[in-house]
Amino acid sequence: MRVRLNTNESPTPPPVAWQHAVAAELSRLDWHRYPDRSATSLRAAIADLHHVDPAQVFAGNGSNEVLQTLLLTYAGPGRTVATFEPTYQLHGHIARLTGATVAEGGRREDFTLDLAEVQRVCGSADPIITFLCSPNNPTGLVEPETNLGAVQDAAPGLVVVDEAYAQFSDWSAIGLVDDDTPLVVTRTFSKTWSMAGARLGYLIGPSWVVAEMEKVTLPYHLDAAKQIAGRLALGFVDDMEARVGHIVAERERIQEAFGHLPVDFWRSGANFVLFRPRTVAGAHVWKALLDYSVLVRDCSGWPRLENCLRVTVGTTEENEVFLRALEEILS
């Protein structure tokens, strides 16, 4: 496959200077020793980036593992976790794996959050964890701050905001985190930091939540190489922001092009766009794109996403190949 636009990775690698810095530190690593169990330097660097205390940072092997640890800590049999669908499927999936019940609320027809539904679900199901995802995967919609406030008012337990794509949007909930508020925010190195291969993610939350999660984590779960890779990446914020700026500009260009094609789409604040061809079945378009060596995500079989496809924003060249192929398929 020439153009892979199906898993929301960064289309470009991290800076060469970062690769050299990682190689240099790895050459000095004591491979026969266990890594720093508390990931002290990495957590300090993440805390610095977000102006929080290192005790408010939990790091894991990808934000999926962070979510899993959170759910192992607080969910489980006899407990309920709330999601508002459609949203990131792993929230409900991992919650069920822990034995918890998932109370699935529905979003509105346009996939925005229905606050009456939030109140109904939180009031009736008494969730220990209530999930939001902003920007939401797979819709790309950014949750307005007022919605988060309303969810915090309604939720009886911990509110989790999954911000895997937050740097592509103009708002983050991290500034609202403090030790007196049952709110946590999860982030990943997989997208904006171009490090999906490293499997590194983290959570910013009250220090008492981090302390509880540490009780559940396996000893030495974060290997030494990953701790180095993550810490060094944070020295390249400007490069990351330049990549993000380029992807955001390309996303706007794709959406502009969609405006001239027979497709409906949802305005995205992420590095992907959800769209629905109007004239040809989504699954057919997905297959036809393969003939052009373009792979996107087929969401057409997912609940409420009939005929929908999701395309990751790639390089300018990749996006051109995708848009030209789509235009021909739909003409």
The distance of closest approach from Cβ of residue 280 to ligand PMP in the complex, given in angstroms and rounded to an integer, is 27
The distance of closest approach from Cβ of residue 62 to ligand PMP in the complex, given in angstroms and rounded to an integer, is 3
Residues between 1 and 20 that touch ligand PMP (CB under 6 A): 8
Residues between 134 and 193 that touch ligand PMP (CB under 6 A): 137, 162, 164, 188, 190
Binding mask 257-296 for ligand PMP (x = CB under 6 A): ----------------------------------------
The distance of closest approach from Cβ of residue 203 to ligand PMP in the complex, given in angstroms and rounded to an integer, is 11
The distance of closest approach from Cβ of residue 223 to ligand PMP in the complex, given in angstroms and rounded to an integer, is 16
| Nearest CB to ligand PMP, comparing residues 139 and 307 | 139
Number of residues forming the site for ligand PMP (CB under 6 A): 13
CA 282 from chain centre, in angstroms, equals 24
Binding mask 192-231 for ligand PMP (x = CB under 6 A): ----x----x------------------------------
E strand map for the chain = 3-5, 57-60, 80-85, 101-106, 129-133, 158-162, 183-188, 201-204, 263-265, 272-277, 294-298, 309-312
Task: Give the Cα separation of 124 and 306 in Å (integer).
Answer: 29
Closest CA to 259 of 329, 327, 328, 165: 327
Task: Give the Cα separation of 81 and 92 in Å (integer).
Answer: 8
Distances (CA, A) of 296 to 158, 259, 320: 34, 19, 14
| Nearest CB to ligand PMP, comparing residues 62 and 205 | 62
Closest residue to ligand PMP, judged by C-beta, is 62
DSSP 106: E
Distances (CA, A) of 107 to 84, 143, 152, 269, 291: 6, 12, 17, 18, 34
The distance of closest approach from Cβ of residue 68 to ligand PMP in the complex, given in angstroms and rounded to an integer, is 9
Determine how β-strand 158-162 pairs with β-strand 183-188: parallel
Residues between 55 and 84 that touch ligand PMP (CB under 6 A): 62-64
The residue ranges that bind ligand PMP (CB under 6 A) are 8, 62-64, 88, 133, 137, 162, 164, 188, 190, 196, 201
